[in-house]
Amino acid sequence: MAIPKNFSEDIPALETQRSVIRVPWLTQILKAFRQDPRWWFAIVLLVFILAAIFAPFISPYPPLQYHPSVATQGPSAAHLLGTDALGRDQLSRIIYGARLSLSVGVATILLGSLCGIVLGIMAAYFKGWVDQLVTMFIDAILSFPGILLALAIAAALGPSIINLVIALAVGRIPLYARIARGQALQAATFDYVTAASVCGTPTWKILFRHILPNIFSPLLVQATLSISFAILDESALSFLGLGAQPPTPEWGSMINDAQTYLNTDPWMLLAPALAIVIVVLSLNLLGDAVRDRLDPRDQARVTGAIQK
């Protein structure tokens, strides 16, 4: 059997192609981290998440344990971030506070985005009076400043974590409803949606199996960015006494407790404030990286800038 003349020349190309296919997924991740430093903030968030999950095992002291003899003590080997006015270890309370703040932030976005997405895709698919009713509801919520609306709802429902999540989630509904509506209006014109409707596919299956998966990317990006703002709002409401109640460790309430000692013991305020800044900054930068990764136009722009 005769061997083609170009066969030997094609072998290096085949080997190169095979090596590209066999690149481990870890190498791809390291390449992404090298090309875009913002992905390193995912590790920062992972540290906070692991600390929140394993708080009972890594915190040096129980968060509610009082030590009046070491009250308002500065950072030391025994207490790396010092103690508060009641002698409680600041580092332990920061670790347990991460569990509460991250949980409230995620729960707020899940509840708000779920309600907003359902309203948005229903308005885009049914149109008519359904669209008008949803638009009126969204405009009514947007007529109030977000933090003031959450403050009013939390004050009306009473101070608790569940009520705080509800108050913060209501203000997130219009954002996700608008994004879902705009994306679903475009997705509803696709041929496969029309074909599914003609074939008698149930409406709920068209909405959640044909339209929703195709508008998921922008919603995911917005959710990543919104968690940081939810944590900020949660800390602000807890600072005002409408969130976690003492002696529950929470970053906003810790800042409220420390403001009296700002001139004499500033480390009491510095630790929870830095925790909020680091988490919020990491979420924002990671959200930008996710957006650039999922949007082909942004990804091409970032790649071109890196190559230059």
Q: What is the mean pLDDT of the chain?
A: 82
**Do 262 and 85 meet the contact criterion of CB atoms below 8 Å apart?**
no
Cβ-in-10-Å burial (0-12, 13-18, 19+) of 253 comes to: buried
The string of pLDDT tens digits covering residues 191-249 is 777 787 778 778 788 887 878 888 888 888 888 888 989 999 999 888 888 888 888 88
- The percentage of the chain sitting over the pLDDT mark of 70, rounded to a whole number, equals 86
Q: If you search the block for the tokens 């219009």, which residue do you land on?
A: 174
**Whole-number Å distance between alpha carbons of 61 and 45:** 23
Cβ partners under 8 Å of residue 27, min gap 6: none
Cis peptide before 12 (omega within 30 of 0): no
Rg of the chain over all Cα atoms, to the nearest angstrom:
25
* Domains of the chain, CATH where assigned: 53-65+81-307 (1.10.3720.10)
Higher pLDDT, 201 or 66: 66
Mean pLDDT (whole number) for 142-160: 88
Say what the pLDDT of residue 275 is: 92
Q: Is the pLDDT of residue 276 over 90?
A: yes
Say what the pLDDT of residue 68 is: 84
